[in-house]
Structure 1
């Protein structure tokens, strides 16, 4: 079993789609752990705020099969097949870390978002601060210590239970 970390986000019917993401992830993995859910402004475009979190889970799928399952779930929940990077999302699920795997092409893992977005590093810090990012000498905690804009994140109380 591989431990994967998946970034989840939505800014369209946020509660419905965050719950849907957790249900979908429970179908492809086990032992789910959720970070705090955060409300944060859209990054790179002007729109409604997002709900974001990171989910830790165990999976027996390969990286590419796992990615395909996430993409299929996004499409089932209304994401456009030709969605652009900076636009509203019903559901967005990105593989942040996948065990010790380093993949330089689709999907790129570790995902560079770790270093760029507070809504990725803060939840990762909650789940696995001591974890070293594969291919680097950096721990999640070390990256978190240098993160900016963490004050933009507003915790959202959990409104559902996970199985």
Structure 2
């Protein structure tokens, strides 16, 4: 079994989509842990605020198969891939880390994900799995967050959000 770190986000009916995504993760994978949920501004485009969270799962899937499963989950929630890369979305679930492996797979699959540098990905993952090592740097998520230039980015915890 491998340990995979995921980033979850939505800015279209976000509470419903995040709850449903977390329920689907728990139905498929063992040992699912979910971070606090944060409200953040859209990055890379002018759009509505996002709700972002992180999850750590134990998986028997290889990175390519896990990525395909996550894409199917996004599609099941109406993810529209026809528009610009940065835009409003019902659900975005990215494979950020997979054990300490480096994967440069087909299409967009790249682990660790470059988005790990953003506060909306790094902060919840660092809180959830502080000792997980980012294999390109050899540093833990806690160390990366401590030194992040985005530590001051506004991220409001969503009170009373029950991930399920």
- TM-score by length of structure 1 reads 0.91
Query: 1:83, 1:27 → 2: CA distance?
Result: 30
The answer to whether the 8 Å contact 1:30/1:59 transfers is yes
In structure 1, list runs of 5 or more residues that go unmatched. none
SS of structure 2 residue aligned to 1:88: coil
User: Cα deviation per residue 1:64-85 (whole Å; 9 max; x = unaligned)?
Assistant: 1111111011111010143432
Instruction: Provide the rounded CA distance (Å) in 1 between the counterparts of 2:45 and 2:11.
Output: 12
Q: Distance in 2 between matches of 1:40 and 1:74?
A: 20
Q: Residue 128 of structure 1 corresponds to which residue in structure 2?
A: 129
Q: What is the aligned residue count?
A: 161
CA RMSD of aligned residues (A): 1.5
Deviations 1:86-135 (A, max 9, x none): 100000000010112211234100111112x1011111110121222123
Query: What is the TM-score normalised by the length of structure 2?
Result: 0.91
Give the CA deviation at 1:137.
2.1
8 Å contact from structure 1 (residues 28, 66) kept in 2: no
Structure 1 range deviating more: 124-133 or 9-18: 124-133
Gaps of 5+ in 2: none
Say which SS state the counterpart of residue 150 (structure 1) adopts.
coil
1:157 aligns with 159
